[in-house]
Amino acid sequence: MFDSQLESLIIEILHEKPINIQALSGGCIGEVYRVELAGGRSIVAKVADGSGATLAVEGYMLRYLREHSRLPVPEVYHSADTLLLMEFIEGESELDAGAQEHAAELLADLHGLRGETFGLERDTVIGGLHQPNKSTDRWIPFFREQRLLYMAYEAARVGRLPVAVLERVEKFATQLDKWLIEPDYPALIHGDMWTTNILAEDNAITGFLDPAIYYAHPEMELAFSTLFGTFSQPFFTRYHQLRPIAAGFFETRRDIYNLYPLLVHVRLFGGGYVGAVDQILRKYKF
């Protein structure tokens, strides 16, 4: 979308005139801009084309978090499939020890929010991909069917996950009860906990971006945060003080949960992520 078109839409929707539109990095689904308005505030505009655009779902998830939790997320001013307008939050993605401890406090609080079942009232997205959330009473069947197998089938469908690896995932999925444990309750999670989705400033978290929410086992969130080095020891020490992490998470369950975000990356990019899936399957003798 040309800046002139975006300018016209912003004027129509917010009744304020943009005085500067600057491209930002990090758009997975479409283009992202920082827009300075004549009134003095800055907003973020996400723009996507009409083919399968899902920005309205992102807007829904941000609003859900603002309504149901204390997690700092940007306020949404407008959401449609091809255009999302929201609050601009200052901050950087480099997390020092103080910011990691603050993140632990915020996520421990988030994970205290209980749902009646696993999943959500509607399907969501992760990385622009469909994420099913059919209500399920038990966590392990939910993870098996709607996370692990669903994304493996999607990755295989587009030719990025070899059939032989898919068959190993299918066999492994039948044995999850050997390693995974049911949580005390379905907990609300952000769902896409990696570095560029977190903003911090002056040793504190200023905002969480790009959620992929649902009610899950909190260990799903904790595992994802280790996959690309989002958090390290300061985070986990503080989180464990507030919400003890059950024995065996780091040694056994973390890698199993990380199969899901890895399969998301296989579906999106293929390549070396297939090798990472293969390595985890081999660890569990599949």
The pLDDT tens digits for 239-252 are: 999 999 999 999 99
Please say which residue of 64, 87, 110 terminates a domain: 87
Structural domain includes residue 17: yes
Whether 49 and 103 map to the same domain: the answer is no
Choice among 51-65, 122-136, 145-159, 210-224 with the minimum mean pLDDT: 51-65
Whether 80 and 213 map to the same domain: the answer is no
Q: How much is the pLDDT for 3?
A: 75
Whether 102 and 214 map to the same domain: the answer is yes
Whether 162 and 244 map to the same domain: the answer is yes
Whether 181 and 78 map to the same domain: the answer is no
Distance CA 126, CA 285 (A): 29
pTM: 0.95
Whether 274 and 201 map to the same domain: the answer is yes
Q: For residue 161, report the phi and psi dihedrals to the nearest 5 degrees.
A: -115, 115
Contact (CB, 8 A) for 215 and 117: yes
Whether 126 and 166 map to the same domain: the answer is yes
Name the 3-class secondary structure at 27: coil
Contact (CB, 8 A) for 95 and 231: yes
Q: How much is the pLDDT for 205?
A: 98
Q: How many domains are there within the chain?
A: 2
Residue tagged 């479409």 (tokens)? 30
pLDDT: is 29 or 285 the higher one?
Answer: 285
Q: How much is the pLDDT for 54?
A: 86
Whether 78 and 134 map to the same domain: the answer is no
Distance CA 194, CA 29 (A): 16
